[in-house]
Amino acid sequence: MLKKILALAGLLMMCGAAGAQRDMALEAGLAKTPPMGWNSWNHFAGKVTEQDVKDAADALVSSGMRDAGYVYVNIDDTWEGERDAQGVLHTNKKFPDMKALGDYIHARGLKFGIYSSPGPLTCARFAASYGHEQQDADLYASWGVDYLKYDLCSYGILMQAAVADHPDDPDIGNKMMKAAYLKMRTALDKTGRPIVFSLCQYGDDDVWKWGPDVGGNLWRTTGDIQDNYDRMAKIGFGQAGLAKYAGPGHWNDPDMLEVGNGHMTADEYRTHMSLWALLAAPLLAGNDLSKMTPETKSILMNKAVIAIDQDALGVQGDRVSQSGDLEVWSKPLSGGGVAVGLFNRGTSAAPMTLKLSDVGVKHAAHVSSLWEGANPVVANDEVSASVPAHGVVLLRVEP
């Protein structure tokens, strides 16, 4: 086993050295703005079926979400079956015909995403790509896949084993991890199909510092989100300081949206959506799109909020100030404007006042409030508002 792991590590490191030869041209133009779409995991998890994915594709069209920018239909873990004697991976019986499903998705003007791991098994213990990277990349391309989420999972066990066997090289695990991601990026490029590459390894080893070097178009910065305010807020507000690592083609990913899954209040979901927009985060809805309340739709499809996320300048926002439960975050926009979020993490409504000069605006020509119901008052280059419990007042300020 040890010999096998060493051979593997050596091989993967060689791939790393060949990294400069990656076909960068293929990646050009991918994920110029943070990817938007839907992913099956947060709501359906291991139960997702072909029909659920078709229903999601249909709902993206009929709800107007596709036209608002949500184009990726991403199947997460549990679609995988067994490999045959030639090593070709087959789907399990929940997904009888992946090529036909890809066609179904594409016929609706949408894009098709899939999921695997660099380890032998995915996180849900289904077959993954270890030792079959090119074969899998070719298979995805033959199905018309446009997006791959590549989730570390069981590869971590190989990394730990190598670290235990190499006390002289404590970084060996991290080197293996980078090489494994680069190996799949290289395999994807070789297919000739432009495929967005989503790294998922929970933010280990400051992935934001090396994600672009292994061809990642986005990388998870944290462990998994859950549909509750505390977890969402811990992740979202925990993104402070990461802005400089994001930009067109390479984004920080604080995980998928929980909007509409039912365990947060409307104010909490508006906080979630606003914060993700200010963070220029990927907007991957994680709810059952075939059963959305008007309130869920109004949050996911607020065009002014989506425009903050998708702004062409491609600069991630950051925290401007924090005082107890109250935080101000801002994001520079193309054309010289700025988006500002006044967040109240406390459990009762609180007044907040923003001096526009604190977010770099001297004289505000125009301040608009992006969620209905908030009534900020603008006077003397200051904006004042009552911010609901766990809520937000989101502003767009144009100079």
Binding site for ligand GLA (CB under 6 A): 41, 76-77, 122-124, 151, 200, 224
Alpha helices (H) in 124-195, listed in sequence order: 133-143, 155-165, 172-190
Contacts of 62-67 with CB under 8 Å at 24 or more apart are 63/289, 63/292, 63/297, 63/301, 64/297, 64/301, 65/38, 65/285, 65/289, 65/300, 65/301, 66/108, 66/109, 66/110
| Smallest separation, CB 171 to ligand GLA (Å) | 23
In this structure, are residues 283 and 269 in contact, taking their beta carbons and an 8 Å threshold?
no
Distance in angstroms (rounded) separating the CA atoms of residues 112 and 60: 13
Q: Which of 224, 318, 358, 381 is catalytic?
A: 224
Could you tell me which residues are beta bridge partners of residue 120? none
70/329 with CB nearer ligand GLA = 70
Q: Which two tokens stand for residue 238?
A: 């925990």
In this structure, are residues 392 and 335 in contact, taking their beta carbons and an 8 Å threshold?
no
191/226 with CB nearer ligand GLA = 226
148/338 with CB nearer ligand GLA = 148
**Residue bearing tokens 């079959």:** 132
219/371 with CB nearer ligand GLA = 219
**Among this protein's residues, is 151 annotated catalytic?**
yes
Could you tell me which residues are beta bridge partners of residue 317? none
In this structure, are residues 266 and 295 in contact, taking their beta carbons and an 8 Å threshold?
yes
48/340 with CB nearer ligand GLA = 48
Comparing CA positions, the residue from 67, 44, 71, 72 lying closest to residue 301 is 67
**Among this protein's residues, is 358 annotated catalytic?**
no
123/301 with CB nearer ligand GLA = 123
Q: Which of 52, 136, 151, 227 is catalytic?
A: 151
Contacts of 293-297 with CB under 8 Å at 24 or more apart are 293/260, 295/266, 296/259, 296/260, 296/269, 297/63, 297/64
Would you tell me how many other CB atoms lie within 10 Å of the CB of residue 81?
14
DSSP label of 317: P
Q: Cα 161 to chain center, whole Å?
A: 29
| Smallest separation, CB 126 to ligand GLA (Å) | 8
**Residue bearing tokens 């074969």:** 135
| Smallest separation, CB 326 to ligand GLA (Å) | 31
173/254 with CB nearer ligand GLA = 254
For residue 60, which phi and psi values (nearest 5 degrees)?
-60, -40
| Smallest separation, CB 123 to ligand GLA (Å) | 3
Catalytic residues: 151, 224
